[in-house]
Amino acid sequence: MAIIPRPGDALRLTAPAKINLTLHVTGQRAGGYHDLDSLVVFAGLGDLLTARPSTDLSLQVTGPFAMGVPNDGRNLVLQAAAALQEKHGVRVGAALNLDKALPHAAGLGSGSSDAATALRLLAKLWDVPAPDPHDPILASLGADVPACYAGPLPIRMQGIGERITPMEGLPDFAMVLVNPKVEVPTGRVFETMAARNNPPMEDVPEGLDFEGFCDWLSRQRNDMTAAAQTIAPEIGRALETLRRQPLVKCVTMSGSGATCVGLVKDMDHARRAARAVQVSEMGWWVAPAPRVKPGMPL
């Protein structure tokens, strides 16, 4: 297909942070893949991806966490773009800008969310159908990409990321995200884990209020936490710092770390708790964030 780019036109979309409130590692498959059972929500903050028409495909990375993020074919954004071009025979490109607001290698799925967002954004820019949720393109880009593409509403992710179930009826809450500014490579965490055949997540009971949800969450696990703390002991301090905040009602680590998450009742409590953490740990990345809900603009 031939699409004439119109200079100056730009599309923008936020790639929201993926938060694993639970992460049960339930098995290991051939090829190094792991079976997971995870309750995933998305935060109302993330990287910002901008796409403009261009004859070529290019990527510029800017923002506070741009350092160390590749702008070549190693970046999942360009891999997603190339896959969409090939699928639909697109012969034009795009000038892409990725404003990195989220730390990377942080357990927030930012690279996968960036890729999922690129697919949606470029499908619109190039006027081609966006992939459906079961398109092989998604899994080819990484195990977390199908979950990020299925968002930004809550989901349960199972298997190696291919089994996605919408999770309706979660109570309202906000979050405090804390990262002690250490990178934790996922592969190293899996290598360090003592056990990879653990029980699955309990089903989320219907009709829970915030307190009941926190009680349920306190009985679930992130099976990667102990291994991640072995690699980065700062994670333990981040978890304890959140637990000391009176407004924070439950605490977990997201993904393979190092970002830790405290759940609070609302955004007012999130801002107050975040300020308290920032005062005590001035070198850390700390962000209050809403949970994405239906109709929330991104």
Active site residue 18: yes
- Residue 136: both structure tokens together: 């092989």
Asked whether residue 298 is domain-assigned, the answer is no
What's this model's pTM, rounded to 2 decimal places?
A: 0.94
pLDDT computed for residue 6 by the predictor:
46
Are residues 95 and 224 part of one domain? no
Distance (Å) of CA 151 to CA 141, 212, 215, 298: 16, 24, 25, 12
Annotated binding site: 103-113
- Return the exposure string of 264-282: e unless at least 16 CB atoms fall within 10 Å of the residue's CB, then b: bbebebbeebbebbeeebe
**Statement to judge: residues 55 and 81 lie in one domain:** yes
Give the domain range for residue 281.
Answer: 174-290
Please indicate, yes or no, whether residues 134 and 35 belong to a single structural domain of this protein: yes
Which pLDDT value is given to residue 31? 81
pLDDT of residue 3: 33
Q: Confirm whether 99 is a catalytic residue.
A: no
Show which of 166, 182, 214 is a domain's final residue.
166
The binding site for ATP consists of: 103-113
Same-domain pairing of 129 and 160: yes
Residue 148 and residue 253 in one domain: no
> Is 6 a domain residue?
no
Could you tell me if residue 199 is inside a domain? yes
Predicted local distance difference test score (pLDDT) of residue 297: 85
Residue 220 and residue 116 in one domain: no
CATH number at residue 79: 3.30.230.10
Residues sharing a CB contact under 8 Å with residue 199, sequence separation 6 or more, in sequence order: 24, 26
Residue in 47, 114, 144, 223 annotated catalytic: 144
Q: Which tokens belong to 105?
A: 């290698």
Domain total for the chain?
Answer: 2
Could you read off the pLDDT of 41-58 as tens digits, one per residue? 999 999 999 999 999 999
Catalytic-role residue among 18, 37, 100, 223: 18
Q: Is 296 part of any domain?
A: no
Q: Residue ranges of the chain with pLDDT lower than 50?
A: 1-6
* Phi-psi domain of 255 (left: phi exceeds 0; alpha: psi -120 through 50; beta: other): left
- CA 57 – CA 75 distance, rounded (Å): 13
CATH code of residue 242:
3.30.70.890
Domain co-membership, 22 together with 138: yes
Verify that 209 and 136 share a domain, yes or no. no
- Residue 2's pLDDT is 31
297 found inside a domain: no
Where is the domain boundary, 141, 166, 191? 166
44 shares its domain with 190: no
Do residues 124 and 17 both lie within one domain?
yes
Answer whether residue 97 is part of any domain.
Answer: yes
The per-residue pLDDT for 1 is: 24
